[in-house]
Every structure is written in C-alpha cells, then in structure tokens.
Structure 1
Amino acid sequence: MPRASFDQLSAFVAVAEQGSFSKAARTLNKDRSTLHRQVSELEIDWGIELFERSGKFPRLTEQGASLVRPSKFIIYQMNALETATDSLFQGEQTSLSICHDASISSSAIKKIDQEIRKRHPMTTINWLSRSRDIALNHLIDGSADFSITLNQGAVLPDTGVSFINLGYPAFDYYVHRNSPLAKSKNLSLAEVQLHRQFVLEDLQQSQFGQQTLISSKISSASDPSVLLDLLETEGFSLLPKHLLGVREDEFVSLDVDFAVQSGHFGYVLLYPASAITKPLQQDCIDAVSNWFKQVCAPEKASY
C-alpha cells in the first residue's frame, strides 16, 4: 500500500515551490491548516523531515529537496491519467491517423500536430505520407481519419469521402541561388525546356502536376529534401513556397517570360463522409485550416 496520498504529495510540492504554507494554500484553494496537517502526516508516514520550520518560512531539508522532483512526476502522471480517463469516458479516440502528400512540409506537420495535442495530449497522432489514391483507400477502409492533399479539380468529392477546401498556397518555379539559371532574366519556355526538371512524385501523379511538366528531361523524387538537394547541382522545380521551409534563402524564383507571377493551387482536407465530427475531429480540422490560412494569407505590399 502507498504511504502517500495524492493530496499529501500535492501539498508537499506546493509548499516546496511556493516557499510558504499560506501561498501554497491559496494556490491549491485549501486551508493553511489542512496543508500543515497533510505535510506533517506525510513526514510521519515516510519517517523523514521534509521542511525545517524554525524560521519564518519553511525550508526544504536535504531529504525533502531530493523528493520534490519524483513527487512532481507522480502528480503529473496522475493528472495525465485523469485526462485520459475523461477522454475515454467522453468516447474520444485514443489515436488519429492523418495522411499527407509530399508537398506538405515537415514544419507544417509539426505545427498542426502541436496545435491538436494542446487540446488532446493523450491522443496518439500518426502522420502517414501517402499518395492521394492510397490515402483515399485508407479513408474508405477506416485505417485513416483525414488526408491533406492537392485538389484534383473535381466538382464532386470522391465516393464516400467529404472534403473541405483549405485554400490556394503559392507555387513557383525555383532554382538554387548558385545555379546559372538564377542569374538569367526573362527566360523563354524554349530555353527552360533544355534544363532538367525535378518533380515531386505526388505532384507528378496529380492533374496539376501533369499540366506543369515543361522540360524534355523529367526526374521525379518522392522525398522533398532529396529534391531540394538535387536542385543544388542543376535544374529547376515547380514547388509550393512553404515546402522550402528553413532553406528558403537557398532558392530563388525562376525569371520566365511565360508567367508574370506565382501560381496558386488548391488543397483539400478529405475525410470519410460517414464520420461523426467529435471534439477531436473538429480540433484537427481547425488546426489544419489555421495553418493554411496563415500560408495563404496575402503578403503585405511595400511601396
């Protein structure tokens, strides 16, 4: 049998952190006498002195100081357990699987994941890199809850799948800043076609990707980081600006005469049409939507 109760541990840690029984009592919304009793009983149960009380304020003994951290850990674990049981009582899922194609950056996934977990710390979130077709199969067979992917331009969603339009991030033709192409101005389509074009595999399989293959030499890559590394040596690639991430300063937009500005291509969030929107699912939708709102927000013009 444990010799310490949760209330006793909470009282001990609160006094240790606040340095005063009165402040700790206000923090825990309890009577000062109650905390005195709980800490005293804990000292008796453990057979050690946790605080020196000879001065105006209680001071941790060496033994007491060594027990603050493990006590805090137990309190954290208990609170996490309570949160988990509350979620289970409310019928919340214990895991969430989100598919995404290669054009969604790792920084985007990190931010979305963090926003969801702020509200659902006990939910396991699985991020699955999948092409649109495979993701659709996952949604239909129930092995995935959501998919973030390029909009195929269909008027109606796929059978058994609902969708939310997320917005239209900017895409552009990019080259490495050390590439000879970076210094060229007003390039014609014929001039660009002579150079190697790198294409993300997921983009190449989409309708949009097929329409943007302009080079006579096409090379595909399934991993965005590999594609960016390959661009250091030669060629160009049509990519969403957000995919450059922390390497944005390494690349510049290709100056061409057949496009006066960056293009914009739509993204959608897909989910099973039969899905019931519970707090977890709605918070996932909100987190994904919020990230796209930031990415798609127009940049402020400077004059």
Structure 2
Amino acid sequence: MFNLEQLAAFVAAVESGSFSAAARRLGKSQSSVSIGVNNLELDLGVTLFDRSTKYPTLTVQGERLYEQTKVVLRQADRLQSYAKGVINGVEDTIKIGIDPLVPFSVIDTALEKVAQVYPYIQVQIVKLFGDELNNAILDESVQLGLHLSAQAVPVNLEFAVIANIEWVCICSPDSEFADKETVYNEDLINFRQIVCSSMLENNAVKSIALLSQEVWQAEDQDDVIRLVEQGLGWAYAPKSMALEKEATGSLIVFSPEFKCEELYYSCDLIWKASAHYGPALQFILQQLTAK
C-alpha cells in the first residue's frame, strides 16, 4: 500500500521537473525519490511518468492522479496540524459576543490573524448586549465580548478599552437632508429616525439615541443602515460603516445642528477574570489589546 512519503515524492517530482530536483527539494537522495515514485506506480498499478525523454513527463493518468494526490497531502497536513493543536491545548471553538453597536471592523484584523496562526479553529460570532452579554461571559457560553462602554464592568469580568468609535448622522441620497450643509434640530425631530434597539439600553448613548418624534427600531446596526438606504429615515451609525456605504453612493453622512464636535464612544473588550484560556484565545486577547 502506498504511503505519504511516496505521494510527496511524486508531487515534488512533478513540480520540480525531475527526480534530482525533487530530491534536493525534499532533502533526500535521488535514488530514494525514484524508488518512492516507482513503488507508488507499482502499488497503484498505473504509470505516472513517461520516461522516454530526457526529463520525465506526466502521463494522462499521472496528470489526474497528481491533482488528487495534492488533495490527499493537504488533508494529511490538516490532520497533522489539528493533532498538533490538540496536543498543545488549542481550542476547538471560540465564541465571541459582539454588541450590535460595535462595527465589525474593530475585530476583523484580529480574526484574520488568528485564522492564519490557528487555521483549523472554529469561530462563532453572536450578537449580544447589556446584561445578556455579561451573563454569557460569566457562564462561559461566550469567551470574549465587545460592547460600548456603558457602566461599571461586573466584578468578575476583566476589560480593556480597545477602540474609540466615532458616530455620525446618515440619510439616503434621496433624503431632503442630503444636500443641506447643516440639518437643523427641528427638521430631525420631525423626520423619522431609525434606531438600533441596543442604543436604548446603553447608558452611554441612550441620552442621544432618540431625537425624532417618530422612531423605528431594528435589532442590528446593519438593519438600521439598510432601512436608511431605503429612504425610510435618518440614523446614527459608526463612521467606519457609514463611509463604506457612502463610498458606494447608497448613504450620505450629514452634519446636524446639535453636533459641535465629533461624537466618540469607547469600545470595551470584556472577558471572565477566572477563566482558563487556551493559546488561540490568548492570541486574540493579545491582538486586540496590543494598542
């Protein structure tokens, strides 16, 4: 029965162009590579290379088996990497709770890096806020949480301020506010406002959350933005999210009369003080708190 060394010799010979080059690539003798490929052909009962020319070339069957062999070797690498991760205590799954008010851009770079360093870990993102998020971390159904700073963090939780999120006012390009240099407070009060529900629960932002006499609510900030894009009202939104939409022409960032300076709110990363975290969670914590 063929083995992984034979498969690796076969792939190296194809990609290097010769058995001697494959041997240098693998750090083995040319004879061991040749024997490995010959034995693979015997085990499979298929001729992989046409050896009638100076340099061996793949047969039709060899070309098909080359692609399949690469898949097998990748799967073997995945198996070995996963087993190594288990030995080193790497978590199978990480669950992160994110307040709907926190833009995903706060965490996306850290997740990209953890995917590179720990490619076989599973990450789950859930939207939670307020006491629901705190309780999920305390009972360890969620390992990390991100929310806007609102009040004292519970005694059993650790926290770190990881970002300052700027908020802006948005409307659709068809809104009567779109072409105005300044939108007066009276106009905002008389025009429908779209609000993310968690804004009304957050002590830090609820003081500015409601201005209009007519309000629609959505559970997620992405849904708020979608309703604004449809021209159904104006809203507050994280500037990073608003600028992405403004670049596509689906939203306008406007200046309200009441805004005398930029509006920022801190984003906290929270986690359970007594929890034991494996390498991947420690890596994410390090990435998010590095600033």
Q: Deviations over 1:269-301 (max 9, x none)?
A: 1111112354211222244457xx7xxxxxxxx
Q: Which residue of 1 aligns with 2:99?
A: 101
Q: How does 1:84-99 map to 2 (within 5 A)?
A: 84-99=82-97
Q: Which residue of 1 aligns with 2:184?
A: 188
CA contact (8 A) 1:20 1:58 kept: yes
Q: Deviations over 1:131-181 (max 9, x none)?
A: 232121111111111011111143xx2121111111202111111122101
The residue type equivalent to 1:142 in the other structure is E
Unaligned runs of 5+ in 1: 294-303
Question: What secondary structure, in the 3-state scheme, does the structure 2 residue paired with 1:87 have?
Answer: helix
The residue type equivalent to 1:222 in the other structure is E
Question: What secondary structure, in the 3-state scheme, does the structure 2 residue paired with 1:239 have?
Answer: strand
Q: Which residue of 1 aligns with 2:222?
A: 225
Q: Deviations over 1:176-223 (max 9, x none)?
A: 122101122333323321111111112221113311122222221013
Deviates more, 1:175-184 or 1:219-228: 219-228
Question: What secondary structure, in the 3-state scheme, does the structure 2 residue paired with 1:92 have?
Answer: coil
1:79 pairs, out of 77, 95, 119, with: 77
Q: How does 1:177-216 map to 2 (within 5 A)?
A: 177-212=173-208, 213-216=210-213
**C-alpha deviation, 1:69, in angstroms:** 1.5
Distance 1:48 1:187, change over 3 A: closer
Between the aligned partners of 1:96 and 1:64, the Cα distance in structure 2 is 42
CA contact (8 A) 2:193 2:235 kept: yes
Q: Which residue of 2 aligns with 1:173?
A: 169
Between the aligned partners of 1:124 and 1:53, the Cα distance in structure 2 is 46
Q: How does 1:145-294 map to 2 (within 5 A)?
A: 145-154=143-152, 157-212=153-208, 213-231=210-228, 232-244=230-242, 246-249=244-247, 250-288=250-288
Distance 1:245 1:283, change over 3 A: farther
CA contact (8 A) 2:170 2:252 kept: yes
Q: Deviations over 1:63-121 (max 9, x none)?
A: 11110121111111111111111111112211110111213445666554332111111
CA contact (8 A) 1:171 1:240 kept: yes
CA contact (8 A) 1:176 1:182 kept: yes
Question: What secondary structure, in the 3-state scheme, does the structure 1 residue paired with 2:155 have?
Answer: coil
How many residue pairs match? The answer is 287
Between the aligned partners of 1:218 and 1:270, the Cα distance in structure 2 is 31
Question: What secondary structure, in the 3-state scheme, does the structure 2 residue paired with 1:182 have?
Answer: coil
- Normalised by the size of structure 1, how large is the TM-score? 0.87
CA contact (8 A) 2:91 2:278 kept: no
Q: Which residue of 1 aligns with 2:29?
A: 31
The residue type equivalent to 1:264 in the other structure is Y
Between the aligned partners of 1:6 and 1:273, the Cα distance in structure 2 is 45
CA contact (8 A) 1:175 1:254 kept: yes
Q: Which residue of 2 aligns with 1:297?
A: none
Between the aligned partners of 2:97 and 2:287, the Cα distance in structure 1 is 15
CA contact (8 A) 1:22 1:32 kept: yes
Between the aligned partners of 2:254 and 2:180, the Cα distance in structure 1 is 8
CA RMSD of aligned residues (A): 2.0
Question: What secondary structure, in the 3-state scheme, does the structure 2 residue paired with 1:266 have?
Answer: strand
2:51 pairs, out of 50, 53, 63, with: 53
Percent identity over paired residues: 25
